[in-house]
Structure 1
Amino acid sequence: MSQRSATFARFTWSCLLVVAVVFAPARVMGQTPLSLEAQATPVIPRPANVRVDAGTFRLTPTTRWSATDGDAAVLRIARDFSARIKRSRGFAPLQARDTKEAAIRFAIDRKATLANDEGYLLDVTPRGVTITARAPAGLFHGAVTLWQLATANDGKGATTIAAQHIDDAPRFAWRGLMLDVARHFRSVDEVKALIDQMALHKFNTFHWHLTDDQGWRIEIKRYPELTRIGGCRIPAGAAGRDADGKPHPYCGHYTQAQIRDVVKYASDRYITVIPEIDLPGHAQAAIAAYPQLGVIGTRPPVSPDWGVNPSLYNVDDGTFKFLEDVLDEVMALFPSRDIHLGGDEALKDQWIASPAVQAKKHELGVKNEMQLQSWFMGRLATYLQQHGRRMLGWDEILEGGIPGDAVVMSWRGTQGAIDAARAGHDVVLSPAPDLYFDHVQSDRADETPGRLAVMDLKHVYDFETMPTVLDAGQQAHVLGAQANIWTEHQRTNQRVQRTAFPRAAALAEATWTPVARRDWADFLQRMAVMQARYRGAGFDASDSAFAANFKVEPQGDGRARVAIDTQSGFGTLRYTMDGSAPTPQSPAYDQPLDLAVAGQTIVATAFAGTRALAAPRRFVLDAHGLRARRSTALRQCKGGLTLRLEDDAPRDGERAVVDVDLFDACWIYPQADLDGMATLSARIGQLPFNFQLAHDSDKVVTRPATMPGGALEVRLDSCSGPLVATLPLAPARVSPALTTLVAPLPKTQGRHDLCFTFASGTHDPLWMIDEVALLPRP
């Protein structure tokens, strides 16, 4: 379908409002006065121990630094710090000719009293700065803290840093992010930009999801078809065809030289890269390249579908030889102890139906297919052990018996981590939905596509890694936590960046900072500074937590009350009525605005002092907006598997975004005011139903067509209520663009729920609503 562009910072207010809301008493947004520490130490994650002292240190272009004993790692860390200051403040502190002239000292002291090798001591006095650690990783983290202190304001030139003593070390050893590049590929530079931000938040693990049904992204020299065939797919729908209707493949992979480059780039920032080669499921791209690896023997396409595909590796010795060959090349590229082998969502239907697989199961004497998967994973875990490596897998590897010394990554909630820790296995917490960053972070209309429900900034901040039900011995097996950036719906790098941060900043603090030191209000104060750092780096972090939301309540007689707030409640909201962007001098919002419904434009932004926390948001208060609802403002009838999806065209650029329940495409316009309404318009479109729902496919509701081509049906009060409008789909079927349909409404008084369903006779294409509007009688 065609583009329906929407500028990020500008939306009509019908996209953002819920009409006829019940207004609570107005809450004036205001800032909590900055604590002394938040002013002196605007650092994320919050250090474990801080003592603020008297005085300040001045960092200027003449400041010099030294590195103890000319150690190569220490020199690299000091030079990295200097380069970051150059990018942020416009000048680079230079290396001192001797230690006496150095105002900043980077030092390794193997005997330093610190909690672990990632810890550091940072002393700032009016005379100078000393960073001490017992290992390079800790020294790097200390340098990052000093960089954050030096960028507390977003100006250029010299700056001052409050005198203080910081004694800091992480709470957990595993602090990670996972990036899925199989669904949507990211370039080397884009991956490096993400790793850079990870380093500046003291993450130490980058989990790289390199293979899946939709693409094989890592060069394996022994098996070139993996990237030649497995690295390309034909996207579903209009995005998979060019202007002439010919297939347009979506391709991408990393050469081994590029992999080594990324691994070194991360290593220089003390981040370990963990590769994932997913098996025995999520294997369709590999089987498309080499069909003999599959169960059924025929070549499937590289999948254009999201969800759980049925393709599995077979259990033949030849397949294990292939996998061992792949792992040999993977281990040569990645020095990490842990190699992730997936193990998740492996539907057993093909194994169950295969005589060869069943014969193998009986030969091995295993009782069921989960135990067969345990044998499959265990064989490869043993191979990794023989090469000094350790298998990491999703929590399904617990079922049927966990192999060897495998580490469990718990994604189906936290129970997998609890069970594995009790069994003596190391675990990483990565539960859905809490740390699945493909979930949207707000219900705003300008939010990136993804899964609903909302996992907002505070939800991530409040996540507690350590399950309280474990005893002290079991808790020792909890390595830490990571968030996962699945990219089925994150087509662009901008979306990946918005999806990741600032929620990753919240996770960084949740995994680094002691529980007693975590404080949401204090975190928000420091986030105001971090948001400015993102902008300065050109990193497109989301501002959803701080963006202005508008709610309107009609008052009659052509007037309405407009309330404004933000998700976080932090900062001072300021607004204008002339369409211009607010400034720190604009009026502060302190109560709902009583306005005429006459096309007035309101623009609002939250500020922390003079610093804007988000891009300005605007809406136009007009009669159409009072009666129109975008899909993001409609209510899902059931909410079984609700996604925020984008249109399938254009191939590049912005696309329309809609909310739809894959199980039951049905929407409610709640309490629509039908007084004087004569006509209903609906802007609709169609998407390919490219979703593999496995054993949930029987949950999809299909309504029989009531006319040739089907219709959008509108019912009064409930989805079984009287039919009040029928809008034939025939005009929309022949158009790849969004189509506006119009139908008359019977004369109806008062407020009523309106239920919208598509009676089309099939679930493919997936019909969706972009906007519905009520039109008055002339």
Structure 2
Amino acid sequence: MKLLKSPLIIVSITALLLAACGTPKELSIIPYPQFEKTSSKTVKLPSIITFTANLPKNDMDDLLAYLPSYPLPLKLKNNESNDTPFVSIKVAPDSSISEEGYNLTINKKGINIEAKSATGAFYALQTLAQLARNGKELPVTTIKDEPRFPYRGLHLDVSRHFFNKEYVMKQLDLIATYKINRLHWHLTDGAGWRLEIPGYPRLTEFAAWRKAANLQDWGKYDHHFCEKDEEGAYGGYYTEADVREVVEYARLRHITVIPEIEMPGHSSEVLAAYPQLSCTGEPYTSGEVCIGNEDTFKFFEDVLDEVIRIFPSHYIHIGGDEASRRHWKACPKCQQRMKDEGLKNESELQSYMISRIEKYINSKGRDIIGWDEILDGGLAPNATVMSWRGTEGGIAAARMGHYAIMTPESHCYLDHYQDDPETQPLAFGACVPIGQTYSYNPAPDTLGTEVCKYILGVQGNVWAEYIPTYEHGEYMIYPRIIALSEVGWTPLKNKHPESFKRRINNEIRHIKTKGYNPFTLSELVQTSQTVDYAKKRITLSLTSEKHPIDIRYTTDGSEPTSSSKLYKKPFIVKDSILLTARLFDKTTPLGKSLHLRTDYHKGIGKKITYAPQGGYYQHKEVYKGGGDTGLLDGLRGGKSYMDGRWQGFCPNDLDATIDLGKITAIHRVVANFMQIRTPQVFLPAKVEVWVSTDGKDFTLLGTDNCSEEEAKKDVIFRDFGWIGAPVQARYVRFHAIQGRKQFLFTDEIVIQ
């Protein structure tokens, strides 16, 4: 397996190239344009910025309705005035400019905007607003721009945590700045139904309310819903008027709102309100609707009729993910449906429902999107696939001639930790830092043009299990959705991590002044390594998400101060180095110190053999962590089990034997493990280290047990293994024993 490239490695390589070639001139724009030519000259901004536009009446009315929210004081030129307008907007439908593209020219005569559509002109205005942030002057520049992908989205889960319409519109204001053009509104899920539906009052009188705001606390109430007017009821829903207001607000910002109605799984809230739609006929027994029941289809058709009536989006998202088939196997109605329709298994039963719903939606002139599980059992004819479990589902759909939207968990899940989980509020899953998000390429050239043309774009997903407040929602969304905007818009040749680092630090400072609550980037030193196996050495590089910043370090175990050595170039490690490094804003220390031991150890490049029941997880590429050589390649993982360095084991133990090639004196055998409880990643219960000189008779050197205190922690990283007086060995057996039959992850077995 080819290791995933760490964004930190990419940042380091880019920094070296920039140092060699000189820093390119850059504009303070996100996402960065396709082409720009900028001089050192500037143009003074007038106090009143008048403009003219040849937009059709409807488009002009839309622009004038939006302008009160626009950061610059644009004023339509009075027809009776002889003054020359500062801004000229010209839209030509027969132009060779792309549908969302624009040309923007700024010179001493003023500003000219050319576009094919009102959308292109709108995006030119967003670029102009970013260039005019200082409120005094503009750079003299020529920009020719268009998006790389037509779909650039933000997904917002309002089931697990309800966000009112004002909050949703506040986010629309900001994402429009970065040319995000889709809001995927996750309106229904097992934690709450959020859309008023005529004829089904229990959905919003009951299934939209619970006794706990935080999903974790809801467990105290057995995940049961409550009546709207009960004391302590938490929740909410959107009326038709609310939806129309949000949809119109989005439309004026050239954002399409795509509603999602989950089916057939993630529907426990529906079944709590209308238990007759479940296989058991009882509430709180299943999250999957009964596909053998015709009333199920009547319900969803009625719901979709209302959705189609109030949402103009061509796409309707119908979910289709994570459905358990347990109840369908035992349900007489579902089994009869399978028999009547000639379906081989429950996967085909789910596909039957998706296809039938698709036909209904197609009959209304709309199309469906579904999560990549809709590929199971056969893909509905006109469906678009949203690929979240990785990239494989989207690529498979594209190869079949279906459109795909890429939103892999490894890069695009904005509810995941964005920094060292030990320093962050409780979140779900792995660590997805901004560098990893920025590094994503939804359509690599290796797929070929015939596949890439079906990849519509990219989306960032926000799930709200661990988002307790509105402010925390923004903390998770920003700045990673801004990074993703550049992934979706900017051509690869114009994506430069070091440039983006400078721009995103400025952008964060700006949006804070606008009343948003972004994560202000990591206050920890970031590391990356490259291994030279021929010269038997590791190159260790340090960097930071923050800019500008100093990195100061020591190698004697002491804590860095403002007078410690300033990091300037990578370290060459031929044996071991014990590094302590910290960020400094001038003389002020930030965050906590990095304590890192790096070893070119005796196991690097040696043969490893996994026991028959001790091998790594085979069903997800990113969990293979480098494959058969991954635990002895000298490369240490970061804080994410999805960074391509960590190797996963589930449900079996890690049980591997390393052949050092000859009898060798060793005194230290350790491997790093992590525990992140929200995605069910746990420390081993115990690690055993065994040695042998002949590969037959092994001696136990020692054990290392997980303490009760450690086992209770939400997040912890630590080395397990053995350290002692030198012993002679050729073979080393490392056995990490499962405690919970969940995932173990380790990144390297270090032998010294």
Structure-2 change in CA distance of 1:531 and 1:476 (3 Å): same
Structure 2 gaps, min length 5: 1-14, 227-231, 529-539, 554-560, 571-580, 597-613, 623-639, 642-647, 654-675, 692-699, 715-723, 727-734, 743-752
Query: Is the CA contact 1:77–1:143 (under 8 Å) kept in the aligned structure 2?
Result: no
Q: Deviations over 1:691-729 (max 9, x none)?
A: 9x9xxxxx99998xxxxxxxxx999999x9989999889
Deviation at 1:574, TM superposition (A): 7.8
Counterparts of 2:438 and 2:84 in 1: how far apart (Å)?
39
Q: 1:69 to 1:550 in 2, by over 3 A?
A: closer
Which residue of the partner structure matches residue 224 of structure 1? 201
Residue 530 in 1 paired to residue 507 in 2? yes
Which residue of 44, 50, 74 maps to 2:60?
74
Cα distance per residue 1:355-394 (max 9 Å; x no partner): 2210111011111111111111111111111110001111
1:396-435 residue pairs with structure 2 within 5 A?
396-435=373-412
Give the direction of change, closer, same or farther, for the CA distance of 1:726–1:513 in structure 2 (3 Å limit).
closer
Q: How do 1:523-602 and structure 2 match up within 5 A?
A: 523-545=500-522, 566-568=543-545, 570-573=547-550
Matches within 5 A, 1:460-475: 460-475=437-452
> Residues 130-156 of structure 1, C-alpha deviation per residue, up to 9 Å, x if partnerless?
2221211111100000000011x4xxx
CA distance in 2, matches of 1:48, 1:546: 32
Shift of 1:166: 0.9
Provide the rounded CA distance (Å) in 2 between the counterparts of 1:737 and 1:399. 37
Q: Does 1:132 align with 2:132?
A: no
How far, CA to CA, are the matches of 2:477 and 2:245 in structure 1?
Answer: 22
Task: Find 1:94's aligned residue among 69, 75, 80.
Answer: 75
**Structure 1 equivalent of residue 317 of structure 2:** 340
Contact 1:433 1:439 in 2 (8 A): no
* Contact 2:158/2:186, CA 8 A, preserved across alignment: yes
Query: Is the contact between residue 29 and residue 572 of structure 1 (CA under 8 Å) also seen in structure 2?
Result: no
The question of whether the paired residues in 2 share the 8 Å contact of 1:112 and 1:133 is answered with no
The superposition leaves residues 567-607 of structure 1 with CA deviations (integer Å, 9 ceiling, x where unpaired) of 3375332899xxxx99xx99977699xxxxxxxxx995558
Question: Structure 1 residues 564, 544: closer, same or farther in 2, change over 3 A?
Answer: farther
User: In 1, distance between residues paired with 2:22 and 2:138?
Assistant: 16
CA separation of 1:332 and 1:310: change in aligned 2, threshold 3 A? closer
Change (3 A) 1:328 1:402: same
Deviation at 1:512, TM superposition (A): 1.0
In structure 2, the residue matched to 1:680 is none
Aligned counterpart for 2:192 among listed residues 215, 227, 250? 215
Residue number in structure 1 paired with 2:246: 262
SS in 2 for 1:266: helix
Once the 2 structures are TM-superposed, how far is the Cα of residue 547 of structure 1 from its aligned partner? 5.3
Change (3 A) 1:42 1:222: same
Distance 1:491 1:343 in 2: 26
Q: Is this contact kept in 2: 1:351–1:369, CA < 8 A? A: yes
Match for residue 102 of structure 2?
A: 120
Aligned residue for 1:443? 420
Task: Give TM-score, length-normalised by structure 1.
Answer: 0.68
Q: Alignment RMSD, CA only?
A: 5.2
TM-aligned CA deviation for residue 172 of structure 1: 0.9
Residue 737 and residue 529 in structure 1: after superposition, are their counterparts in 2 closer, same or farther (change >3 A)?
A: closer
1:377 counterpart (328, 351, 354): 354
State the secondary structure of the residue aligned to 2:171: helix
1:617 correspondence with 2:590: yes
Could you tell me how far apart the structure 2 residues matched to 1:356 and 1:363 are? 10
Partner letter of residue 71 of structure 2? I
Q: Which moved more, 1:519-528 or 1:94-103?
A: 94-103
Greater relative contact order (Cα 8 A, min sep 6): structure 1 or 2? Answer: 1
Secondary structure of the corresponding residue to residue 416 of structure 1? helix
Contact map agreement 1:29 1:573 (CA 8 A) in 2? no
When residues 283 and 726 of structure 1 are mapped into structure 2, their CA distance, relative to the original with a 3 A threshold, is: closer
Contact 2:525–2:583, Cα closer than 8 Å, also in 1: yes
Task: Supply the AA of the counterpart residue of 2:405.
Answer: V
1: distance between equivalents of 2:90 and 2:262?
40
- Is contact 2:204–2:237 with CA below 8 Å preserved after alignment? yes
Q: Distance in 1 between matches of 2:127 and 2:320?
A: 38
Task: Check 1:36–1:544 CA distance in 2 against 1; reply closer, same or farther (3 A cut).
Answer: closer
> Equivalent of 2:44, from 58, 73, 77?
58
- Any unmatched runs of 5+ in structure 1? 1-27, 87-91, 302-308, 552-562, 593-601, 627-636, 643-657, 667-686, 694-698, 704-712, 739-747, 765-778
Partner of 1:498: 475
For 2:34, the equivalent position in structure 1 comes to 48
- Confirm or deny: 8 A CA contact 2:549 2:583 kept in the other structure: no
Between stretches 444-453 and 390-399, larger displacement belongs to 444-453
Q: Which of 321, 326, 335 pairs up with 2:303?
A: 326
Which residue in 1 is equivalent to 2:461?
Answer: 484
**8 Å CA contact 1:177, 1:484 repeated in 2:** yes
What secondary structure is seen at the aligned counterpart in 2 of 1:183?
A: coil
Whichever residue aligns with residue 501 of structure 2, its letter is L
The yes-or-no answer on 1:185 pairing with 2:162 is yes
Q: Look up the equivalent residue of 2:184 and give its one-letter code.
A: H
* CA distance in 1: counterparts of 2:142 and 2:53, whole angstroms: 20
Distance 2:294 2:395 in 1: 34
Residues 1:364 and 1:224: Cα distance change in structure 2 (over 3 Å) = same
The answer (yes or no) to whether the contact 1:30–1:570 under 8 Å persists in 2 is no
Q: 1:97 to 1:34 in 2, by over 3 A?
A: farther
Local SS of the residue matching 2:409: coil
* Counterpart Cα distance in 2 of 1:37 and 1:129: 24
On the 8 A contact 2:91/2:118 being kept in 1, the answer is: no
1:496–1:569 Cα change, 3 Å: closer
User: Aligned-pair distance for 1:473?
Assistant: 3.5
2:80 maps to 1:109 = no
Q: Deviations over 1:189-217 (max 9, x none)?
A: 22222222210110111111111111111
**Matched residue count:** 626
AA at the equivalent of 2:202: E
Provide the residue aligned with 1:280 in structure 2: 264
Specify the SS of the correspondent of 1:375: helix
The CA deviation at 1:253 is 1.9
Alpha-carbon contact 2:278-2:289 (below 8 Å) kept: yes
Q: Which residue matches 1:773?
A: none
- Structure 2 SS opposite 1:52: strand
CA distance in 2, matches of 1:606, 1:136: 44
Q: 1:253 is matched with which residue: 196, 218, 237?
A: 237
Shift of 1:93: 4.1
CA spacing shift, 1:82–1:32, aligned 2, 3 Å: farther
Post-superposition Cα deviations, 1:145-197, rounded to whole Å, max 9, x if no partner, equal 0000011x4xxxx4111111111111111111111111222222222222222
Matches of 1:714 and 1:466 in 2, distance apart? 41
The amino acid of 1:150's aligned partner reads A
